[in-house]
């Protein structure tokens, strides 16, 4: 992946190769992916903000390699690595430059790993033992004059950075699974689902002109527990939609809801 603006991918397996995945994008989320026997599992050459959740790396030389961090290039902006499981690998995260980019390790489990985070001048974070868990660790440019006492100030050729372990944010129980990981699920495709409710059969037009607010609200109120299908189109809304708990909605390609009128003037 060389370029784009936002997206999502999940439930993929990469085996072998110089790179398992070569990635660059603006805002992106990746979850439930597996890498095995790759020289480098993931090579990221630029981004704005990426989130990697539920990533499994086994027997790879490098788990995540961050490139494109030179001052005259679009580099890696920020990364959140949540609920990773890395085993039998040399380095989890390899940095081309230590002083640029923001990196957060959130609940990372490692086994038989030599370095967790490594820069060009050496390791920034080492495992405490053969099996270790990083609850919450971060690295960021030192743009503020002071930082929390838990963080260490480190001077690099690319500028000063703050790095270190801090207390992890509390994960609400309703957003986690039995392991305490962030809840996630596969994107359903509904190939065999016949009980779809089409919003256009309730009067929604999706033509970019008609007011579809009432028609879509009726569907939301009456189709609780059913799968609501939104055909491709631009659906104009003049008021807030109230979406009941447990609503299931899937779109064709990328339908768009557009808020307009007096109630959206201060948006």
pLDDT tens profile 89-132: 999 999 988 887 899 999 999 999 999 999 988 999 999 999 99
Q: Which of 46, 96, 32, 38 lies closest to 62, judged by CA?
A: 38
Q: pLDDT tens digits for 197-250?
A: 999 999 999 999 999 999 999 999 999 889 999 999 999 999 999 999 989 999
Q: Which of 64, 98, 80 lies closest to 169, judged by CA?
A: 80
Domain 7-175 has CATH 2.60.40.1250: no
pLDDT band (50, 70, 90) for residue 194: confident
The pair phi, psi for residue 121, each rounded to 5°, is: -100, 0
The mean of the pLDDT values for the chain is: 91
pLDDT band (50, 70, 90) for residue 25: confident
Neighbours of 120 (CB within 10 A): 12
- Higher local confidence (pLDDT), 149 or 252: 252
Cα–Cα distance measured from residue 79 to residue 84, given in angstroms and rounded to the nearest whole number: 13
Q: pLDDT tens digits for 131-184?
A: 999 999 999 888 777 777 789 888 888 888 899 999 999 999 999 999 999 999
- Interstrand relation of 196-198 and 227-230 (parallel, antiparallel or unpaired): parallel
Please report where in the chains the tokens 């499981």 appear, as a residue.
85
Give residues with Cβ within 8 angstroms of 59, minimum separation 6. 36, 37, 87, 88, 89
Neighbours of 44 (CB within 10 A): 23
Cα–Cα distance measured from residue 38 to residue 17, given in angstroms and rounded to the nearest whole number: 5
At 69 the pLDDT is 53
Q: Average of pLDDT values for 176-193? A: 85
Cα–Cα distance measured from residue 174 to residue 176, given in angstroms and rounded to the nearest whole number: 6
Q: Which of 67, 60, 28, 61 lies closest to 44, judged by CA?
A: 67
Q: What is the residue extent of each domain of the chain? A: 7-175, 196-264
Signed CA dihedral, 242, 246, 252, 253: sign only: positive
Contact of 218 with 201, CB cutoff 8 Å: no
């Amino acid at each position: 992946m060389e370029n784009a603006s936002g997206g999502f991918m999940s439930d993929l397996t990469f085996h072998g190769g110089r790179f398992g995945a070569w990635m660059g994008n603006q805002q992106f989320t990746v979850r439930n992916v597996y890498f095995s026997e790759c020289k480098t599992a993931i090579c990221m050459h630029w981004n704005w903000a990426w989130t990697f959740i539920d990533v499994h790396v086994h027997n790879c030389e490098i788990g995540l390699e961050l490139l494109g961090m030179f001052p005259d290039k679009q580099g890696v902006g920020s990364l959140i690595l949540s609920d990773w499981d890395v085993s039998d690998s040399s380095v989890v995260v390899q940095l081309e430059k230590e002083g640029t980019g923001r990196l957060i390790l959130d609940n990372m489990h490692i086994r038989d790993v030599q370095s967790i985070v490594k820069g060009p001048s050496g390791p920034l974070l080492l495992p405490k033992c053969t099996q270790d868990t990083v609850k919450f660790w971060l690295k960021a440019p030192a743009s503020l004059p002071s930082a929390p006492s838990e963080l260490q100030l480190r001077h690099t050729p690319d500028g000063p950075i703050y790095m270190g372990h801090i207390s992890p944010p509390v994960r609400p129980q309703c957003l986690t699974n039995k392991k305490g990981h962030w809840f996630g699920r596969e994107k359903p495709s509904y190939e065999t689902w016949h009980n779809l409710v089409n919003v256009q059969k309730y009067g929604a037009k999706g033509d970019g002109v008609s007011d579809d607010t009432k028609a879509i609200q009726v569907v939301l109120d009456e189709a609780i527990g059913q799968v609501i299908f939104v055909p491709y189109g631009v659906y104009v809304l003049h008021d807030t939609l109230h979406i009941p708990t447990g609503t299931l909605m899937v779109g064709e390609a990328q339908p768009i809801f557009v808020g307009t009128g007096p109630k959206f003037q201060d948006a």
